[in-house]
Every structure is written in C-alpha cells, then in structure tokens.
Structure 1
Amino acid sequence: MLTDFVLLGLWASLATAHGTVSGVVADGVYYTGYSLNFQYMNPIPTTAGWSIPKDQSLGPLTPDQFSSPDINCHVSATPGQTSVAIKAGGQLELQWTPWPESHKGPVMDYLANCNGPCETVDKTTLQWFKIDGVGLIDNSVQNGKWASDVMIANNNSWTVTIPADIAQGNYVIRHETIALHEAGSQNGAQAYPQCVNLAISGSGTAKPDGVVGTALYKATDPGILINIYTTLSTYPVPGPTPYSGAVSLSQTAPPAPTASATGVPAL
C-alpha cells in the first residue's frame, strides 16, 4: 500500500506532468506503454515502453540537452523488457496521456534496429531513421494548426505506418513531439521523446542508414529556434529527411483495440 507521503509526492509530480505514451495499439492489439506510477508497484509491470522513472515531473528535454544520451528516449531511459509485435506495413497507434493545447509543435517518428535484443540495447548505439514527420498544417488560423493539435483532437493519439519494405527484426520506435510555445527564446524548445520496443515481422530487406540521437538536432536549427507567434509561411520539421519508404498518414480518430497483448512476441 502506498504511504501518504508517497501519494503526496506522486500527486505533486503529476501536477506538473506533460505526458507519456501510456499505450500502444498494433494491428488492433493493445499493449501497455509507460506510466510514472509503475515505480511504485511491486512487481513493476513488464512493458515494451522504455522506463523514465527519474523524470519525476515528466518535463521536457531542452536544446542544451540535445548532445546528451537522454535525447534518445528521455531522461535516464532504460529499455522496455518486452516488445510490440507488428508486421511491416502495419499501423501503430501511440496513445499519449492528455497533452496541453498550448504546447504546439511537430510530431515525429524514428526507427532504429537493435541488431539483437532491444531489452539490452545500448541506446547510444541506436541509429535513428525518420519514418514520419508532420509540423505546421495550416497557417491561416491563429498561432497555426500543428501536428500536436491533430494529435489532441484524435484522443491524444498518433498513428504511424511501419514501412512495408523494412527488414524483419527488433527495433525501437522513437516517437516525439517538440513543444514550440517558448521556442522563440534560446533554449526554449521542449522535446518529449518516447521509446517503445517493436518486433517487426515481414519479408522486406530495407535497412536504412540512420544517425545517433545526439546528431538529430542542434539548438539553432530553424525548426528548433523559432517564434511561432509570428505569421509562418512554412515550417522546417527538425531532424533528418524521412527515408524513401516512409509513409505519412492522414490522422483520424483511431478505432478501439480488439484485444490486449499477452506474452512476449518472438521473431
């Protein structure tokens, strides 16, 4: 049973929280993501979502941390201990906890091959290639309509296609939104990367080149240091260009999952 002291600390941390990917749906099957509550449970649930228990406030990574290993999957992140099973070409729905409407910005997805079990992978060796990246959608409305607005409108969820030509294997998906409400000032952008282990099956052969997490962004990138409260004609989505097999979806409200995952998928 949680003590009053622990409950008070938990409430205080959640009061300033921004969000985590709390659930994942792959081809209609639901998998539990990560929750700050897990650190207070015994035993701690086994999930595909990477753990970030040291991020008590669920706050952001700022540009002065872009050269830190934390940029891969958030503060002191450790690998998930199971994986989400999905076929190449399938759709993956990532479910956020409630997201602040003021935190406007892009939504991006990257994959990295673990080249072995993702449960023990060294995050600093992961080579990320982008499979999705959406930024400013409509500049005709006040402060713009952004990918984050679409995510919020779709029950705080974002759906990404796993490219059909990707080689079978164990991968980590790095799903991220960057809040730009304070990005007009140096070190004001707020990155929220979240990672989930995937077991991708299929007959594809593509093994795209990627970059390590610390090479994804610079503090002065035009999509990082930007005032979104001016009239923007375009917005350069941060990070590498999506690889040739990437597919961007028109986001719609996702259907309810038809089953919940059990066991550990095997390739």
Structure 2
Amino acid sequence: MQYAALNMKAFAVLLAVVSLVSGHYTFPGFVHNGAVSADWQYNRMTENHYSNGPVTNVNDPEFRCYELDMQNTAASTSTATVSAGDTVGFQGRSSIYHPGYYSVYMSRADPAANSAQAATGKTWFKVWELGPTYANRQLTFPSASMQQFTFTIPKSLPSGQYLIRGEHIALHSATNYGGAQFYIACAQVNVANGGSGSPAPLVSIPGVYTGYEPGIMINIYSLPANFTGYQAPGPAAWRG
C-alpha cells in the first residue's frame, strides 16, 4: 500500500509537470511564404527548447533572443535568404494557448546575422503587432488556436542581414510586476531586393520595456473603471 501511495504521488507530480510544460510554448519553425523550416534551422534555439518556460525579466540580457548559448548558438544557426515584400514569421511547436499581445522587431545584423554580437545595441525597430480589441468593457484576444504568426517585410527595407525577433506577451497572470510571460524567437535572415527606407524609431533589447507599461502589467480579467483600450508596449511599428 505504501509503495502504491508513493507511485500515485510521483504520478501526480509528473502530471503537474506535463501540464505546466504543455501550457507554454516555443517557436522553432521559421515561416517563409507559407513554407515552414525545420525546427531551429533559421531560428536560434532558445533556452526553453525543452522546458517551454517563458522569460519574465525584461532586463535580462537573454531577453534579446533567449538563446540557449549567447556566445555559440548564433554561429550554429543557418541564415535564410528572403526578399523585401515576402511574408515571414514564426511557427510554434504547439498552439499559442495564452491570451496576449504579439509583436515583431527587426534589427540590422552587424557584422552578420550569425554573429553573437549582432543587434546588441540600439538597433531594433518594430515592424508588426497584433493586440486585443476592446468593446463592451472586455478585451478580446487573438484566437488561442493560432500556431503561427506572420507579417510582410516592408518593401522599402534596405537589403542586408537582419535578426527578426518574434514576441508573444502572455497576459493571463500579468496583474503584478514580473507576471507577464514573454515567449521569444529570433530568426537569422538575409534580405534581398530591398529599398531605401529608414526604419525608426530604434530601441535596445533589453531596454525597450520597463515591465511597468500598462500593456505589460495589467489585470485582463478586471479592467479599471477608466480603461479605454489596450495600450501596446514599445515603439510604434515602422511600416516602410
């Protein structure tokens, strides 16, 4: 009986762990004009590739790309060739369960996209976002059955090597500071057939958020009386 009880306890712990992991997600697939790459072929493998756990500290150096190894992962990741005007994005290993806000940032990658030093300064600009809608005192978020999110590379983006950083901010437990969960992926690309645009404004990552923004620290289940709509964190998106 004691042995059975111990087994049941171990089984309960295992179920809890499985439930925790299945509630989180990673984005190992790079989407290019509808085709999805092999896992981690062009996206830098993230530290949570096994645990699926989120980043919660917006000031952590790993907040940039959450690489498994900040010195060596970039060099072991391939660089995809794309064109300005193409549709690209990120594919999750599972559905994106949590309600939240999506955004995509890009950065010119010097000396190259597969360099660990790329995009470590004030070089990032937002190119796309998808947030909740607000009506009848309620926020309505993008479907929880989504498994990928994509955007169009602005046609005026100058040619060159870039990092593309996809981010989903899960807000289901964001009532207190540090409660928001960030799910991050960085793809390495070489953009061809670009234009002469000037992406702006430029921000640093980390540095783009304090964590106290009303779009990051928010109780989505009990909105304040003076709430007028979701305020997206970070800079305005550059559309090219």
TM-score bucket of the superposed structures, by smaller chain: 0.7 to 0.9
Task: Tell me, yes or no, if the aligned pair for 1:110 and 1:174 is still in contact at 8 Å.
Answer: yes
Q: CA deviation at 1:54?
A: 6.2
CA distance in 2, matches of 1:185, 1:204: 43
Tell me the residue number matched to 2:55: 61
Q: Which amino acid aligns with 1:107?
A: Y
- Residue 125 of structure 1 and its aligned partner are, at CA, apart by 3.4
Tell me the distance in 1 between the aligned counterparts of 2:34 and 2:157: 20
Could you tell me how far apart the structure 2 residues matched to 1:126 and 1:14 are? 39
Match of 1:135 among 131, 144, 148: 131
User: CA separation of 1:28/1:188 partners in 2, compared to 1, >3 Å: closer, same or farther?
Assistant: closer
Check 1:86–1:13 CA distance in 2 against 1; reply closer, same or farther (3 A cut).
farther
Deviations 1:27-59 (A, max 9, x none): 24432233xxxxxxxxxxxx2110224664221
- Letter of the aligned partner of 1:213 in structure 2? I
Deviations 1:185-222 (A, max 9, x none): 22111111111111111130224242110111112111
Report the secondary structure of 2:120's partner residue.
Answer: helix
Conserved? CA contact 1:114–1:126, under 8 Å: no
The CA distance in 2 between the partners of 1:158 and 1:203, in whole Å, is 22
Percentage of matched positions with identical amino acids: 27
Paired residues for 1:88-167 under 5 Å: 88-99=84-95, 101=97, 103-122=98-117, 123-125=119-121, 127-140=123-136, 144-147=139-142, 149=143, 152-154=144-146, 156-167=147-158
Please give the residue correspondences for 1:1-267 in structure 2 after superposition, counting only pairs within 5 Å. Answer: 16-17=20-21, 18-34=24-40, 47-53=41-47, 56-62=50-56, 65-74=57-66, 76=68, 77=70, 78-79=73-74, 81-99=77-95, 101=97, 103-122=98-117, 123-125=119-121, 127-140=123-136, 144-147=139-142, 149=143, 152-154=144-146, 156-209=147-200, 210-231=202-223, 233-245=228-240
- Over the residues paired in the alignment, what is the CA RMSD in angstroms? 2.5
Inter-partner Cα distance in structure 2 for 1:56 and 1:97? 11
Kept in 2, the 8 Å contact 1:130–1:243? The answer is yes
Unaligned stretches of 5+ residues in structure 1:
1-10, 35-46, 246-267
- Listed as ranges, the gaps of 5+ residues in structure 2 are 1-14
Cα separation, 1, equivalents of 2:48 and 2:84: 33
Asked if structure 1 preserves the Cα contact closer than 8 Å seen for 2:45 and 2:67, the reply is no
Q: 1:168/1:53 Cα in 2 relative to 1: closer, same or farther (>3 Å)?
A: same
What amino acid is aligned across from residue 31 of structure 1 in structure 2? S
CA contact (8 A) 2:89 2:166 kept: no
8 Å CA contact 2:64–2:205 kept in 1: the answer is yes
Tell me the distance in 2 between the aligned counterparts of 1:178 and 1:243.
20
Distance 1:158 1:140, change over 3 A: farther
Q: 219-228 or 208-217, which moves further after superposition? A: 208-217
| Cα distance change on mapping 1:144 and 1:126 into 2, 3 Å | same
Separation in structure 2 between the aligned mates of residue 91 and residue 134 of structure 1, nearest angstrom: 15
Compared with structure 1, are the counterparts of its residues 125 and 181 closer, same or farther at alpha carbon in structure 2 (3 Å cutoff)?
A: same
TM-score under structure 1 normalisation?
0.72
Q: 1:14, 1:124 → 2: CA distance? A: 35
C-alpha contact 1:138 1:146 (8 A) present in aligned 2: no
Is the 2:134–2:229 Cα contact (8 Å) retained in structure 1?
Answer: no
Where 1:144 maps in the other structure, the secondary structure is: strand
Range moving further from structure 2, 204-213 or 186-195: 204-213
Query: Which has the greater radius of gyration?
Result: 2
Equivalent-residue separation in structure 2 for 1:235 and 1:166 (angstroms): 28
